[in-house]
Amino acid sequence: MNSQTKDFSGKELIGKDFNGQNLAEFDFSTADLTEANLNGANCPRALFYRTRLREAQAGKTCFREADLREANLSKASLQQADLNSADLEGADLREADLSRADLSHTNMTGVYMSEATFAGARLIEVDLKAADLRQANLSGADLTGADLRYSKLEEADLTGAKLEGTDFTGADLSRAKLKRADLLNADFSECKITGADFSDATHLSCAQIETTLFKKDSVTFPDSLHITWLSDTEYECWCASE
C-alpha cells in the first residue's frame, strides 16, 4: 500500500500487502490486519494497540519498540522477527510461530502463548510474569534472566533452553520438558514440577529443588542429583556436584 499517511488506526486491512515496506511509527491501532503480509517490513515504534494480526505473515519483520499491547497475533508467522524492547502486554500469541525471533527485553506480562513456538528464540531478560505458555515450544530458546514468575508452563518444551538466572517463582512446570537445559542460578521457589523431566539438565542443585513442589517419584532428575524418599512427603537430596 502506497500512501503518505501514517494513520491507519481502525482501518480494515485484511490480507493487505506491506511486504518490505517502511512502516516506522505508523499507527495501526485497532485496525484489522488479519492475514496481512508484513514480511520484511520495517515497523520500529509503530502502534499496533489492540490490532488484529491473526494469521499475519511477519517473517524477519522489525517491531523494535513497537506497541503491540493486547494485539491478536494468534497463528501469526513471526519467524526471525525483531521484537526487541517491544510492548506485548496482554497480547494473544496462541499458536503463533516465533522461531528464532528476538524478544529480548520485551514486556510480555499476561500474554497468552499456549501452543506457540519459540524454538531457538532470544528471550533475554523478557518480562513474562503470569504468562500462559502451556504446551509452548521453547526448545533451544535463550531465557537468560527472564522473569517467569507465576507463569503457566504445563507441558511446555524447554529442551536445551538456556535458563541461567531465570525466575520461575510460583510458576507451574508440571509435565514440562527441561532436558539438557542450563539451569545455572535459576529460581524455582514454590514452583510446581510434578511430572517434569530434567534429564541431562545442567547446574541443577538440591538447593534449587528443595524450594519446589512435587509428588513422590513423579520427577525425572539428572543423574547428578539423587533423591531418597523417607516418606510420601519427605526426602533427602544429594548432588554429585556439591
What CA–CA distances, in Å, run from 173 to 59, 73, 134, 159, 242?
30, 24, 9, 13, 25
**Are 106 and 83 within 8 A, CB to CB?**
yes
The model's pLDDT over 84-99, given as tens digits with 9 standing for 90+, comes to: 999 999 999 999 999 9
pLDDT at 240: 78
pLDDT tens-digit series, residues 175-196 = 999 999 999 999 999 999 999 9
What lies within 8 Å, CB to CB, of 207 at 6+ separation is none
Residue pLDDT, tens place only, 197-207: 999 999 999 99
Reduced to 3 states (helix: H, G, I; strand: E, B; else coil), residue 209 is helix
Q: What is the mean pLDDT of residues 24-31?
A: 98
Overall average pLDDT of the 31-52 stretch: 98
Residue with cell 526487541: 84
- The pTM assigned to this predicted structure is 0.91
Which backbone phi and psi does 167 adopt, to 5 degrees? -100, 110
Torsion of CA 227, 230, 236, 239, to 10 degrees: -20
Query: Looking at the predicted structure, is the pLDDT value of residue 2 above 80?
Result: no
- Give the whole-angstrom CA distance, residue 60 versus residue 191: 35
**CB 69 within 8 Å of CB 88:** yes
For 205-220, what is each residue's pLDDT tens digit?
999 999 999 999 999 9
Provide the pLDDT confidence category of residue 4 given band limits of 50, 70 and 90: low
Q: Give the tens place of pLDDT for each residue, 105-139.
A: 999 999 999 999 999 999 999 999 999 999 999 99
pLDDT tens sequence across 148-173: 999 999 999 999 999 999 999 999 99
| pLDDT tier for residue 1 given thresholds of 50, 70 and 90 | very low
Write the DSSP symbol of residue 46.
-
Name all domains of the chain by residue range, CATH numbers in brackets.
108-242 (2.160.20.80)
Burial tier of 185 (Cβ tally within 10 Å: 0-12, 13-18, 19+): middle
